[in-house]
């Protein structure tokens, strides 16, 4: 009698997917950047029935102004953390420029968030991104939150605001972006937020804030002290501010003047003063700032490839590819620039590495202390001993992006073409 060998099929890791196991919720977070108009969301699932790939990491990027549910990426990982760097790279790419804190969400809350932005895409007739099958399970069953739960969830998405300038800049940012739901989170009572219906959703490029008289009271406060108040101290809770904002959409620039009145860090009045268009040249003059640039050449043509692990600062940079190299944009890990009396959109950038394919590295920053920080970051890295500083510049107007778009492969040659400026050879500043 012929015997037959019995074979047992053993499933390997390559055959495992997020769907070859049930899912157990581990953790989730959202960035507290809703008032910037965008949030990043992360979810970690445990897959108990998989033999090898037991961890499922999902990343979502949501834009409340234009793009809705904009980006999705995922990683399957074993218990030994073999995809750690892949996870960090996705996190940096999606959320490195947001500047917010990570705030924990419950499974109910994160399902509600994903469903809300998927609904937004449906209303805006925009397709859902990425491998939709991987997150489709999050869309059903439908999750409902009561008003207290919705408010709690909104609080998780927003930073704690401590100054009038923060409130005003965030409020105007949301109004000009036509993100009125988030704008109303910053108001108390009835406040009309859509007072510029002729404008499309716009980016707030800059904003200057000054104290102003209240249009109703004729004073900077609607609270008038009495004799008793003078005994215990006067409480000025209501104050008005005049704002001059530069906004942009569709390549058009406008100066918009408004008056915003606050009461205990809540907007209680928003008034239109004026709005007029300005040229791109005028807008550039309003936002221009010095640009500090330091150029390094490689000492060895066989230098190791530059990547996100090459220096401490670039480990959290947002990376974009260009014709002649890669740009590593390093943002501040916070959004403190929103709290400035004179707000500028570009103030969230700490510095830039532009690494050319030929090995040249161009460092760029808008402040002297930051260019010094970038230089130290590079020189103290493992790659530092193989790089030679060859030129140092200070430009009145930005030139780095002109260099990148020019296709030139040498920054010094590019400078020779566009100007007669001589580099500052003092590397010890």
- Region label for 96, one of left (φ > 0), alpha (ψ between -120 and 50) or beta (otherwise): alpha
Q: Do residues 173 and 263 share a domain?
A: yes
- d(CA 296, CA 386) in angstroms, rounded, equals 10
**Is position 4 within any domain?**
no
Closest CA to 351 of 376, 330, 381, 324: 330
Same domain, 317 and 331: yes
pLDDT digits (tens, 9 = 90+) for 209-233: 999 876 554 555 444 444 555 445 4
**Do 266 and 387 have their domain in common?**
no
- Domain boundary residue among 90, 124, 156? 156
Q: What does the alpha-carbon distance between residue 356 and residue 295 come to, in Å, rounded to a whole number?
A: 11
**75/184 same-domain check:** no
Domain boundary pick from 285, 313, 334 = 285
β partners of residue 244: 208, 257
| Domain assignment of residue 6, yes or no | no
Same domain? 358 vs 242 = no
Angstrom distance (rounded) from CA 116 to CA 68: 9
Q: What is the pLDDT of residue 2?
A: 45
Domain-embedded: residue 330: yes
Please indicate, yes or no, whether residues 232 and 351 belong to a single structural domain of this protein: no
| 147 & 174 share domain | no
**In contact, 319 and 93? CB cutoff 8 Å:** yes
Last-in-domain residue among 285, 313, 348 = 285
The answer to whether residue 2 is domain-embedded is: no
Range of the domain at 347: 289-418
Give residue 381's pLDDT: 94
Q: Indicate if 233 and 117 belong to the same structural domain.
A: no
Shared domain check, 66 and 101: yes
For residues 172 and 268, membership in a common domain is answered with yes
Tokens read off for 253: 């620039």
Residue 425 lies in a domain: no
Peptide bond into 141 cis (omega under 30): yes
In a domain, 114, yes or no: yes
Residue 5 domain flag = no
CA 211/CA 204 separation, integer angstroms: 20
Examine the domain organization and report whether 144 and 221 are in the same domain.
no
Per-residue pLDDT tens digits for 35-73? 999 999 999 999 999 999 999 999 999 999 888 999 999
317 within some domain: yes
- pLDDT computed for residue 426 by the predictor: 45
Number of domains the chain is built from: 3
Is residue 84 a contact partner of residue 24, using CB atoms and an 8 Å limit? no
Give the global pTM: 0.85
24-31/266-278 β-pairing: unpaired
**Most confident stretch, 34-48, 201-215, 296-310:** 34-48
Q: Are residues 171 and 124 in the same domain?
A: no
- Cβ-based neighbour number of residue 389 at 10 Å: 16
Residue 186: pLDDT band (50, 70, 90) is: very high
Position 299 pLDDT exceeds 50: yes
Among the residue ranges 80-94, 182-196, 255-269, the one predicted with the least confidence is 80-94
């Amino acid at each position: 009698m012929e015997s037959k060998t019995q074979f047992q099929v053993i499933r390997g890791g390559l055959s495992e997917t997020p769907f070859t196991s049930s899912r157990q919720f581990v953790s989730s977070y959202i960035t507290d950047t809703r008032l910037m108009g965008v949030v990043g969301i992360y979810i970690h699932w445990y897959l108990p029935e998989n033999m090898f790939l037991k961890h499922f990491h999902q990343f979502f990027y949501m834009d409340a102004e234009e793009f809705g549910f904009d980006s999705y990426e995922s990683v399957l990982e074993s218990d030994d953390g073999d995809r750690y760097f892949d996870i960090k790279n996705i996190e940096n790419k999606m959320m490195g420029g947001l500047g917010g804190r990570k705030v924990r969400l419950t499974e109910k809350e994160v399902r509600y968030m994903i469903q809300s932005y998927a609904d937004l895409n449906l209303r805006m007739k925009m397709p859902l991104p990425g491998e939709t099958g991987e997150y489709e399970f999050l869309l059903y069953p439908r999750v409902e939150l009561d008003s207290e739960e919705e408010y709690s969830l909104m609080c998780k998405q927003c930073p704690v605001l401590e100054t009038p300038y923060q409130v005003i800049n965030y409020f105007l940012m949301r109004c000009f972006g036509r993100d009125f739901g988030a704008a109303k989170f910053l108001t108390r009572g009835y406040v009309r937020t859509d007072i510029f219906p002729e404008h499309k959703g716009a980016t707030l490029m800059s904003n200057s804030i000054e104290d102003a008289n209240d249009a109703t009271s004729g004073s900077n406060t609607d609270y008038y002290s009495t004799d008793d108040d003078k005994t215990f101290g006067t409480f000025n809770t209501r104050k008005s501010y005049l704002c001059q904002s530069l906004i942009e959409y569709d390549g058009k620039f406008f100066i918009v003047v408004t008056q915003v009145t606050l009461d205990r860090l809540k907007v209680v009045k928003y008034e239109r003063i004026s709005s007029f268009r300005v040229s791109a040249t005028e807008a550039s003059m309003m936002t221009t700032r010095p640009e500090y640039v330091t150029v390094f050449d490689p000492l060895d043509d066989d230098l190791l490839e530059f990547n996100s692990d090459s220096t401490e600062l670039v480990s959290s940079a947002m990376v974009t590819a260009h014709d002649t190299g890669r740009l590593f944009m390093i943002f501040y890990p916070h959004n403190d620039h929103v709290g400035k009396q004179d707000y500028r959109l570009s103030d969230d950038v700490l510095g830039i590495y532009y690494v050319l394919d030929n090995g040249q590295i161009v460092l760029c920053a808008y402040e002297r202390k930051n260019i010094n920080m970038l230089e130290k970051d590079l020189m103290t890295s493992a790659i530092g001993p193989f790089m030679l500083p060859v030129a140092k510049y200070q430009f009145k107007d930005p030139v780095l992006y002109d260099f990148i778009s020019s296709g030139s492969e040498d920054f010094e040659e590019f400078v020779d073409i566009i100007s007669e400026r001589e580099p500052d050879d003092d590397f010890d500043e």
